[in-house]
Amino acid sequence: MLAVILLCQSSEQYFTVTGWMAACITLPHMLGPFIARCIDTASDGRRVIAAACLAYAVITALMTATFGHVPLLLTALLLITAGLCGPLLTGGISTFLPAIAGPDQRSQRRAQGLDVATYGFGGTIGPSAVAAISAWASPSAAFYLLAVGTVLAAFFIMRLPVSQVANTGKATKVTSAIATVGLMIRHTQLRRTIYLTMAVAFAVAVLPVVAVNLADVLGVPAATAAFLTVAYGAGNLTGSVCLMVIPLRGEPDRLMLCTGGLIVAGLLSIFIVSSFLPVFVCFFITGMLNAAFFAATLAARSEYSPPSCRGQVFVWVGAMKITAGSLGTAAAGQLMLLGAYTPLILSLCSLSAILVISIVARTRPWIKTDY
């Protein structure tokens, strides 16, 4: 998305529609769950994801080459088409964790820690590389580099082990997208996985906005306050590395509740402390806790979803997470005018409320419905 923003801002023709162009590549993620069904129906899901990588590379390269030389609508359509490949590139690969790690739970949990690390590295190194190349050369060069990287990703995806789950390639033997939605609504643990994931994504999405707004409160320049976001990212990476060494143990449902509660404590600590260094440490710790929560949700998606729709479940939860994170950022942007801590208060209240509801539902057997 950063590459789209920088590319649009480099053109007078597209400058005023930068936000809309960025939305063109992110909003299609909402259709990802319907697209993800092809992973479950395919005899070899790796080919589906590799094809999506190649399609993404070709489309983004074509969009970059024609940028500014074709009507704005055509550029938007190319971005939307590229965005449709996004869910397969992000959530799709996680469905292969059981085949890579093997049946042992400890090995799978360690692999999930590695998966969390890849998200962290991608979310940190990717935007940094785009920003650096855009400054050194041009946003177009950054886009071409992303296209090349996606082609390389397709090559490495085909090196992954083939899943042993029996996929016959017949769509009739795979749960439909609508049926998968019904399953996630009825299944207690999967339902809880979705709304806890959304609640945490919404809550932590306010942190970059809060970090910059804390400059006046902490008495530091805005550029220095921005390092709080770096602390959060570094904490996330550190947490994922720790999870590879010491994997999470226990039931995913309980782990999500525990780590979610710890994230509330981390957010509350940011609200309580009043000087830069302690706030920096609190951001770092909150990032570590979010890595643990993410690993717990990966375990829940893997262990609670049936093989017939596992790919769809992974992408459904991922799509809801992206949506909730976008809403959190938007809400923080609106509320920051009311005070530096206002977005943080919103995230604390919303996440705490969802956690209370989840704990009550888990401890009341008569309102549980397992399938």
Cα separation of 317 and 201, whole Å?
Answer: 11
User: pLDDT of 130-173, one tens digit each?
Assistant: 878 888 888 899 889 999 999 999 998 888 776 655 444 444 46
Q: Average pLDDT of 119-137? A: 79
SS3 content of the chain, % helix, strand, coil (to 5): 85, 0, 15
CB atoms under 10 Å from CB of 235, counted, come to 24
Are 303 and 316 in contact, with CB atoms under 8 Å apart? no
- Please give the residue that has the higher pLDDT: either 40 or 180: 180
- SS3 string of 335-352? HHHHCCCHHHHHHHHHHH
Ordered structural domains, the chain, with CATH: 1-167 (1.20.1250), 174-364 (1.20.1250.20)
Report pLDDT for 243: 85
Q: How many CB atoms lie within 10 A of CB 168?
A: 10
Q: Are 293 and 260 in contact (CB under 8 A)?
A: yes
Is 196's pLDDT higher than 80?
yes
pTM over the 0.85 mark? no
Q: In terms of C-beta density within 10 A (0-12 exposed, 13-18 middle, 19 or more buried), how is residue 369 classed?
A: exposed
pLDDT digits (tens, 9 = 90+) for 267-307: 999 989 988 899 999 999 999 999 999 999 988 888 888 87
**What is the CA 331 to chain-centroid distance, rounded?**
18
Report the alpha-carbon distance of residue 330 to residue 197 in Å, rounded.
Answer: 18
In degrees rounded to 5, what are phi and psi of residue 17? -115, 25
CA dist., res. 204 & res. 301, Å (int) = 21
Q: What is the 3-state secondary structure (H, E, C) of 184-241?
A: HHHCHHHHHHHHHHHHHHHHHCCHHHHHHHHHHHHCCCHHHHCHHHHHHHHHHHHHHH
CB 11 within 8 A of CB 68: yes
